[in-house]
Amino acid sequence: MKRVIILSIFLLALASSFYFFERTPQFQSIKDESFELPSVEELFKELEKIVSAPPPLLGPTNEQVSLLTTGGVLEWTSTQRVTFGLQPLKANETLSIAAFAKLEDMFQKQYFAHVSPTGQSAGDLATLAGYEYITIGENLALGNFENDEKLVEAWMNSPGHRANILNVKYQEIGVAVGRGTYEGNTRWLAVQIFGKPLASCPQPSTALKAQTEEFESNLDALQQELTSLREELENTKPKRGEEYNQKVDEYNVLVSQYNTLIEETKKLVAVYNQQVQAFNACLAQ
């Protein structure tokens, strides 16, 4: 009877060791599409920058008394927006630098168009000045307008220029006005550059993306370690004994760490993807 009991205990212990290995948790693969995160740089590359540039406006050519100012043009532009229930535009120094560069270039190269003879547009000038934008627009005027109010009024009477002034997407503006010689006559040139800055949209967190990538790297390392240990366990004969059971314990601990890290990574990915969606929604507004 005693031999039977001892044999039963031995068989039970042996069966337990096999059972423990058989119930080893299955680890998942890290290579999942949900972990493919677009970089902020890639999002910017995919961003379709919009430039609105209606045909330039020609004004009075007679030599009447005429005076234009950047402050006055900005004030009357804001007045028109407020009249139609819109927020006034904020003066932006960088956009004003771009507008002044446009003004000087038109006088120097003697052209009156949104694209210069060298191929530069308002978007190019804004970028050169250091203005990152989502949407940009430009209004041009040439002529001896009596004053700032008359100039803005003339733009408002032109559908394309009016659309720029009343565009709900624009948040900032740069203005430049100047008097000089154009095609042998003394004329005023006026430039408005409107913009919605890239900074107005909440950009996905680069720190969060870096943390997610770090977790992914750790998962890859764990997966390799698990694969190696699993192969070692499968090739071990006999599948019993203290050393074997210890390796099974190590394997199970690693699987637990791996699965926990996967869940944490998925949470980070979900947050990052929400930020990307918010960024894209802002771009569309």
User: pLDDT tens-digit profile of 148-201?
Assistant: 999 999 999 999 999 999 999 999 999 999 999 999 999 999 999 999 999 888
Would you say 201 and 283 are in contact if contact means Cβ atoms under 8 Å apart? yes
- Read off the pLDDT of residues 15-33 as tens digits, 9 standing for 90 and up: 333 334 444 433 334 344 3
Q: Could you give the CA distance from residue 252 to residue 37 in angstroms, rounded to a whole number?
A: 30
pLDDT-derived band at 90 (thresholds 50, 70, 90) equals very high
Would the pLDDT of 37 be above 70? no
Q: Could you give the CA distance from residue 80 to residue 161 in angstroms, rounded to a whole number?
A: 12
Q: Give the residue among 58, 56, 60 at the shortest CA–CA distance from 144.
A: 60
pLDDT-derived band at 8 (thresholds 50, 70, 90) equals very low
pLDDT at 188: 96
Q: Give the residue among 176, 185, 146 at the shortest CA–CA distance from 67.
A: 146
pLDDT at 13: 35
Stretch 50-78: mean pLDDT: 89
pLDDT at 40: 52
Q: In DSSP terms, which residues pair with 141 in a beta bridge? A: 57, 190
SS3 20: helix
> Which residue in the block uniquely carries the two structure tokens 């119930």?
23
pLDDT at 28: 39
Higher per-residue confidence, 76 vs 239: 76
pLDDT at 225: 86
pLDDT at 33: 38
Name the amino acid, one letter, at 187: R
Q: Could you give the CA distance from residue 258 to residue 88 in angstroms, rounded to a whole number?
A: 54
Q: What contacts 281, CB < 8 A, 6 or more positions away? A: none
- Cis preceding linkage at 204, omega within 30: no
Parallel/antiparallel/unpaired status of strands 185-197 and 133-142:
antiparallel
Stretch 75-99: mean pLDDT: 97
Domain ranges, ordered by start, for the chain: 45-200, 202-284
What's the pTM value of the predicted model, to 2 decimals? 0.67
Would the pLDDT of 39 be above 70? no
Would the pLDDT of 6 be above 70? no
Stretch 124-144: mean pLDDT: 95
Mean pLDDT, all residues of the chain: 83
Fold of the domain built from segment(s) 45-200: Pathogenesis-related Protein p14a (3.40.33)
Higher per-residue confidence, 70 vs 54: 70
Q: Could you give the CA distance from residue 137 to residue 150 in angstroms, rounded to a whole number?
A: 21
- Read off the pLDDT of residues 185-243 as tens digits, 9 standing for 90 and up: 999 999 999 999 998 888 888 888 888 888 888 888 888 888 888 888 888 888 778 88
pLDDT-derived band at 35 (thresholds 50, 70, 90) equals low
Would the pLDDT of 42 be above 70? no
